[in-house]
């Protein structure tokens, strides 16, 4: 749902897991690595605009700042693990400045069996078990996926825009402000943004604003008007329209549902 997932860009041995059925994740990126395993059915995926379909029993891995998306097909279920690179120091050094040529990677039967038992189906996961499973998977990944150098200029543009919008999204900002802040030609910045993100700058910024608003709806009792304007939306109407279009419910309905 959100483009730059700030909560998944935290290091210091952070990780989180979740199982999804009908959740659709639009193009997004973050600093941490992300592992996907399809439990049932199939999931349509993209990795840096390259499409693939993962089916039951298959794994995929997104490296830091890879742009990826997931669209599950009907009656499908998939498991996600997002983890910081400090769990796999050696692997992180090897992939620094690189990306994989594809999302899917081959996992041998013994490793798949071990990982399903010790990682995916384990309700009492410890960091030691996590590290052992991840290193097994990293070895499998490097055996089946070719690493390629990232486009340095593209990576720089992504980082600059993401950091700027993360800090300034509650203000009235434009892409020209980003270009001026980093002394880039506006027309060049505009072309880069269109080629990389394939969306309007307004939509990109509103995704950050929506994430801020959701956090406030979940964790505070603030007035919805104050939350809308405090998150950077220019009007309550604009906020309500964007919220409902994104989540298929109103802010009030979301707050109520999140507290059940």
Which of 59, 52, 64, 4 is CA-nearest to residue 37? 59
Share of the chain above pLDDT 90, in %: 67
150-157, long-range: CB < 8 A, 24+ apart: 150/65, 150/97, 150/98, 150/99, 152/97, 154/192, 154/196, 155/65, 155/97, 157/189, 157/192, 157/193, 157/196
Q: What is the per-residue pLDDT across 206-250, written as a single tens digit (0 to 9) for each?
A: 988 998 999 899 999 999 999 999 999 999 999 999 999 888 899
- Least confident span in 14-23, 73-82, 101-110, 168-177: 14-23
Mean predicted lDDT score pLDDT of the chain: 90
**Looking at the predicted structure, is the pLDDT value of residue 159 above 90?**
no
Q: What is the per-residue pLDDT across 162-217, written as a single tens digit (0 to 9) for each?
A: 889 988 999 999 999 999 999 999 999 999 888 877 788 998 899 889 989 998 99
**Looking at the predicted structure, is the pLDDT value of residue 138 above 90?**
yes
pLDDT at 166: 85
pLDDT at 6: 52
Overall average pLDDT of the 94-111 stretch = 95
Q: What is the per-residue pLDDT across 114-135, written as a single tens digit (0 to 9) for each?
A: 999 999 999 899 989 999 999 9
pLDDT at 2: 42
- Which of the four pLDDT bands, split at 50, 70 and 90, describes residue 258? confident
| Contacting residues for 161 by C-beta, under 8 A, at least 6 apart | 178, 193, 204
**In the sheet that 33-40 helps form, which strands lie side by side, from edge to edge?**
15-20, 77-83, 33-40, 59-62, 104-105
Angle at 49 between CA 47 and CA 53, to 5 degrees: 55
Which of 43, 78, 46, 38 is CA-nearest to residue 62? 46
Task: Indicate whether this model's pTM tops 0.75.
Answer: no
* 108 against 8, higher pLDDT: 108
């Amino acid at each position: 749902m959100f483009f730059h997932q700030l909560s998944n860009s935290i290091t210091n041995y952070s990780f989180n897991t979740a199982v999804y059925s009908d959740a659709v994740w639009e193009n997004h990126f973050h600093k941490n690595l992300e592992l996907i395993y399809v439990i049932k059915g199939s999931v349509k995926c993209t990795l840096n605009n390259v499409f693939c379909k993962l089916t039951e029993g298959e794994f995929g891995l997104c490296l830091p700042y890879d742009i990826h998306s997931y669209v599950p097909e009907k009656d499908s279920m998939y498991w996600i693990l997002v983890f910081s690179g400090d769990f796999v120091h050696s692997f992180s050094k090897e992939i620094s400045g690189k990306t994989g040529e594809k999302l899917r990677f081959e996992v041998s039967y013994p490793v798949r069996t071990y990982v399903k038992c010790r990682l995916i189906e384990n309700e009492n996961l410890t960091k030691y078990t996590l590290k052992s499973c991840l290193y097994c998977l990293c070895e499998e990944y490097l055996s089946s996926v070719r690493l390629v150098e990232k486009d340095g200029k593209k990576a720089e543009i992504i980082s600059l825009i993401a950091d700027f919008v993360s800090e300034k999204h509650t203000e009235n900002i434009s892409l020209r402000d980003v270009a001026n802040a980093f002394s880039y030609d506006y027309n060049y910045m505009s072309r880069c943004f269109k080629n990389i993100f394939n969306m309007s700058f307004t939509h990109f910024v509103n995704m950050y604003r929506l994430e801020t608003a959701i956090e406030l709806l979940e964790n505070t009792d603030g007035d919805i008007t104050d939350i809308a304007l405090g998150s950077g939306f220019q009007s309550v109407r604009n906020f309500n329209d964007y919220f409902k279009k994104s989540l298929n419910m109103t802010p009030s309905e979301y707050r109520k549902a999140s507290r059940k």
